[in-house]
Each structure stands twice: as C-alpha cells, then as structure tokens.
C-alpha cells in the first residue's frame, strides 16, 4: 500500500524595473522580497543548516559539510511567511516556494497565493523607487532572449523506491505531459521555423539525467535533498515543468504525478514504452501543436505523446481499481479531468483553451495576429505573450480573461486570499506558519525541517520537524492555544 505523498512547488518569477533609473534584476529581486517582509514586525530568516543541494541520488553521497550559509553573507533577501512558504531571491529572481501540501487542490490554492504575494511585494517595492517607476513581475519561464528560469515541483517519496525505477517509469511521462502542463511561448531556442510551441522550458533541456538545474538541464534531476528524515524519504526534484496560471493545468500537473508516484511505489505499472531519444522527443513534443508527432521508441516502433498519456492514464486507472486503498475526492477528480483533457485533445488540442495555458495563450495570440496582420516574429506579438503572465490582476491578460469568465477556475478568490497568511492545516507547514504568526519575535530562523527558537535563555533551541505529516492543526493546535510564548511551547514539547 502506498504511503502519503507531499508536494510543494517553487517558482522563480521574471522581474523588470521600468522607470527613469535602471535597476539590475538581483537588486530588484532583493527589493521586492525586502519590501514584502518589511510588512512584518520581525524578520524570520531561513535556516540553511541541513541543506545539501549537491547530494546526488545516483551515488547517495553527501558532500563534506562546510560552514552553513547565512543570508547576510549571501547578500540576498530570504524569509519565511506565516502561510508556511519561503519567499527569497534565487540568482536574479524573486522566488516563492509553497508550503508542503498533501493534494493537488491545496497546491493550487497556495501556488495562487504566491501570485498575490508577488503582486503585493512589487507594489511595495515600487513605492521606494523614483516617481514613474514600475516593478513588473511575470509568472513565466523565459525572457525570450535566451535566458530561462525555473518552476520546480518537489515530491516526497519513500527512499525504498529505487531511483532507477523512478527514472525509467517517469521519463516518457515527462516528455508527453506538456499537452496540459505547457505554458506556451512564441519562438524557439533551437529552430527559427517554430512560430509557437507548447512549453517555455523544453528547448533548454540537454540531457536525460543529471544534477544540474541551470546548465545541461536534465529531464530527470538527481538532487537528493529530502528536507525530511533521509533514512525514510527522498525528494523527487522535478525541473522540467512550466509555471502555470491556469488552475486546471496546475491541478493536473501535480495531481497526475501524485497518482503516478503511488503506482510506482507499489511497483504496479507494466513495462513502460521506452523512448529512443527522450530529450529530442521532449523538443519535438513542444514544437508540435497536435500531440500526434511520432516519437521513436527504443524497440523500433513509434508512439505519439497523446498515446503515451493515454497509456499512463489507463495504467493508473487499473492500479486504482485493483488496490485496496480507495481514492479520495481530489484523486477521483484528477482522474476525471485527466480523461477529459485527453478526450478533448483527441478531437483538437486547441480546444483546451480556458483550461491549459498554452492553448489559452495561443487562442489569444491568433486573434491578435488576425486583427493586426502580424507574423510570429512581431515584437508586438511577443509583448502580448509576455503580458499574459503579468501577475497584476488589472493588467495580466490571463487575469483579464479569468475576470471575463473565459478561464475555468477550481478554487475561490477568498480561499486564495486566506492562504496568503495561513498555512495548510494537514502538514508540518501549519506548525511552522503558526509559530511564526504567534511568536514571530522569538522565531529566529526556520527551514522545511526545523525551527530555531529563542526562549530568552542562554541558548537558542532547535525544534526538528523531520516528518512532514507531523505538526498539523489536529495534532498541535490545542497545544499552541494553551501556551503563551516559546518557553512554554518548548516545555510542553519536552514533557
């Protein structure tokens, strides 16, 4: 029987400062994060103590530990929010990492909360700049000038699942899923003849398996940094997906993976079709808008991305039917929507407009092209492409379409607004976020798997949180209600 899964998504946002004075992206990103965290009484720093991003799942070794990094030395803004999320600067981008979630619907809610946080932070940062300045934030993955930035999914899976099995059974899935995960973009890094393609990320991938995330990007990333008990868990760090605005796309991106990981853990999948050249196939899938491009198989045959997705859906359906553990309502909805998206795509993938980003954007761009007689190389058209991703609700074209009822919504605005301040109740994120909200001045730092608390005594105290399912509202809500400060909390935890 499969174990509970946990998921979080970290998104690097595109950033530009428009105004009388130039501001480089690193400084602009630091201003955005700094402006938002200034809204709190005291800053809660990030705890880098146990981070090991160079640990490789293929060899299982951990690099020699050095002095832990601290944000002051890095010169970058980095903080933890009351909703359990991390908000920080990564390279030249503001990045929002959602709190841990147990299901796809919650992930949609807290991912959408990140968009509100970025929009608010940009407005705060602009207020400190010269008159006429604007801080523009886009939830996308490329600047259209050869640079890419990431959206990374993170799934916690049992360490008993061999990494080789994950690689073998997931690679064809990753190659074929842009049908519903792609955010769409004009142009290509590889082929000047491509006018529009499904994904913003595919062209930037060069190898099948590897540890890197910014160079020689791999379809299957091998970073082995669980942020939990390393004896029990591994974190599957997925870097090949796009940043999505359409809620159906995010829901399916995460929901299909959670179901598939259950099936892989139970070793319930039949032999997966093996692609002859997965990286080339990934590019080909992105460059084809029909989902019917023939992808060479290792055994000499071919298969289309639509057929590959149908293979995975059928395999997961059989697994769900045969297992003793029934699906919850969210899992059932994932299966229903997965089937519906494939059925629509079999008729015409462009009919997915309003549900998935690439088709929604393509419909928008095709209408603009027709009205103005533009070629795909037009700078005006590229500006429309970018404007789709603007996080401002009154300016972003996605948000304007949603306001007109042209985008299918899965979650309500009120619950997204609430998620800006409050964490999920059924993971350790609730304990993290609530401690910061209640005892902010006594929380020195926080990480995914620990809190550093100051009880006002001789030394700081570290509270480990190695189990993602411990620290929920049900488990510790009454305890937190009964204590007045960190000293009282620590006493109760030791009792």
To 10 degrees, what angle do helices 163-176 and 247-265 make? 150
How would you classify the pairing of strands 217-221 and 205-210?
parallel
To 10 degrees, what angle do helices 104-126 and 25-37 make? 100
Q: Of 47, 90, 288, 390, which is the active-site residue? A: 90
90 classed as catalytic:
yes
d(CA 196, CA 357): 13
Contact yes or no for 221/155 (Cβ under 8 A):
no
Residue 320's SS3 state is helix
For residue 317, count other CB atoms closer than 10 A to its CB.
Answer: 15
For residue 67, count other CB atoms closer than 10 A to its CB.
Answer: 7
d(CA 75, CA 177): 38
- Reading phi first (left if > 0) and then psi (alpha if -120 to 50, else beta), residue 491 is in alpha
Report which of 442, 464, 441, 437 is spatially closest to residue 455, judged by C-alpha positions: 442
d(CA 310, CA 312): 5
For residues 451-478, one letter each, b for 16 or more C-beta atoms within 10 angstroms of the residue's C-beta and e for the rest, the string is bbbbbeeeeebebebbebbebbbeebee
d(CA 472, CA 306): 39
d(CA 323, CA 461): 44
d(CA 72, CA 76): 7
Contact yes or no for 369/381 (Cβ under 8 A):
yes
d(CA 44, CA 453): 10
**Where in the sequence numbering do the catalytic residues fall?**
90
């Amino acid at each position: 029987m499969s174990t509970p899964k946990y998921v979080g998504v970290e998104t690097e946002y595109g950033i530009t400062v428009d105004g009388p004075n130039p501001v480089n992206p690193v400084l602009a990103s630091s201003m955005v994060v700094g402006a938002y965290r200034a809204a709190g009484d005291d800053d809660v720093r990030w705890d880098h103590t146990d981070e090991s991003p160079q640990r490789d799942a293929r060899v299982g070794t951990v690099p020699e530990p050095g002095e832990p990094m601290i944000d002051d030395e890095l010169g970058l803004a980095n903080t933890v929010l009351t909703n359990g999320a991390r908000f920080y600067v990564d390279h030249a981008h503001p990045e929002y990492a959602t709190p841990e979630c147990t299901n796809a619907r919650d992930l949609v809610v807290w991912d959408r909360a990140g968009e509100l946080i970025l929009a608010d932070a940009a407005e705060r940062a602009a207020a400190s700049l010269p008159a006429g300045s604007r801080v523009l934030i886009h939830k996308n993955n490329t600047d259209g000038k050869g640079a890419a930035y990431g959206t990374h999914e993170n799934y916690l899976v049992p360490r008993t699942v061999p990494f080789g099995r994950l690689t073998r059974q997931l690679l064809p899935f990753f190659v074929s899923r842009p049908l519903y995960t792609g955010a769409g973009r004009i142009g290509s890094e590889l082929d000047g003849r491509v006018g529009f393609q499904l994904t913003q990320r595919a062209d930037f991938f060069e190898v099948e398996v590897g540890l890197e995330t910014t160079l020689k990007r791999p379809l299957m990333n091998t970073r082995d940094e669980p942020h939990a008990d390393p004896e029990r868990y591994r974190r599957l760090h997925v870097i090949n997906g796009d940043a999505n605005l359409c809620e159906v796309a995010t829901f399916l991106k995460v929901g299909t993976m959670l179901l598939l990981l259950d099936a892989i853990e139970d070793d319930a999948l039949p032999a997966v079709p093996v692609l002859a050249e997965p990286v080339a196939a990934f590019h080909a899938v992105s460059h084809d808008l029909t989902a019917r491009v023939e992808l060479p198989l290792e055994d000499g045959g071919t298969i289309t991305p639509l057929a590959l997705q149908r293979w995975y859906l059928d395999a997961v359906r059989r697994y769900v039917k045969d297992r003793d553990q029934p699906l919850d309502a969210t899992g059932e909805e994932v299966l229903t929507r997965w089937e519906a998206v494939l059925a629509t795509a079999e008729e015409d993938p462009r009919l997915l407009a309003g549900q998935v980003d690439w088709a929604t954007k393509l419909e928008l761009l095709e209408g603009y092209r027709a009205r103005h007689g533009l070629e795909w190389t037009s700078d005006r058209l590229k500006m429309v492409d970018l404007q789709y991703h603007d996080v401002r609700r009154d300016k972003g074209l996605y948000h304007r379409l949603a306001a007109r009822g042209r985008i299918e919504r899965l979650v309500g605005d009120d619950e997204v607004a609430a998620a800006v301040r409050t964490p999920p109740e059924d993971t350790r994120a609730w304990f993290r976020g609530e401690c910061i909200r209640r005892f902010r001045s006594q929380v020195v730092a926080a990480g995914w798997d620990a809190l550093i608390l100051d009880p006002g005594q001789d030394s700081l105290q570290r509270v480990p949180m190695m189990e993602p399912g411990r620290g929920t509202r049900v488990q510790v809500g009454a305890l937190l209600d009964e204590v007045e400060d960190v000293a009282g909390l620590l006493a109760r935890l030791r009792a």
